[in-house]
Amino acid sequence: MTKSNIKLTDRILRIISNAECEVKSSKNEILRPEHLLLACFQEHTGTLGEITLKCNIDLNSLRNWIDKLDIVPVQNSVSEFFNVSVSNEVLAVMELATEYMKKYKQVFLNEGHLLKALINKNVAESLLTEEQK
């Protein structure tokens, strides 16, 4: 999977940028899938904006929870999609999101593909309540 053959929507680009900012502004050194989920909740347009309005999610609590995750060492990798090091789990999420895009015969990778991949990779399991999911 290379960026050269995948087009990204503006929302996905903002989500990636916000996830990278979260990594840089915290004690984290590696972008994890949880950072992508947090960045999804920071997007206030489209479907993600509606989800954010309906799910009362405390972003600061989510950040604190994510900061505690880095106690466990993770293997980092490089991805053309990101300007920071990412975990192998992020690579797997992006690969799955791309598979969804191709399955639906779409041209652009969008936030729906990413969110579905995050949910199916069980990123949301420990971060969200059943009602929020």
Write the CATH number for 48. Answer: 1.10.1780.10
* Angle, CA of 76, 82 and 88, to the nearest 5°: 30
pTM of the model: 0.88
Number of domains in the chain: 1
Please tell me what DSSP assigns to residue 31: B
Looking up tokens 């929302």, which residue turns up? 11
Beta strand ranges found along the chain (DSSP E): 7-8, 76-77, 86-87, 108-109
Each residue's pLDDT tens digit, 77-108: 888 999 999 999 999 999 999 999 999 999 99
- What is the domain extent for residue 22? 3-120
Whether the predicted pLDDT of 12 surpasses 70: yes
Each residue's pLDDT tens digit, 17-34: 999 999 999 878 889 999
Answer yes or no: is 46 within a domain: yes
pLDDT of residue 99: 97
Answer yes or no: is 19 within a domain: yes
Answer yes or no: is 38 within a domain: yes
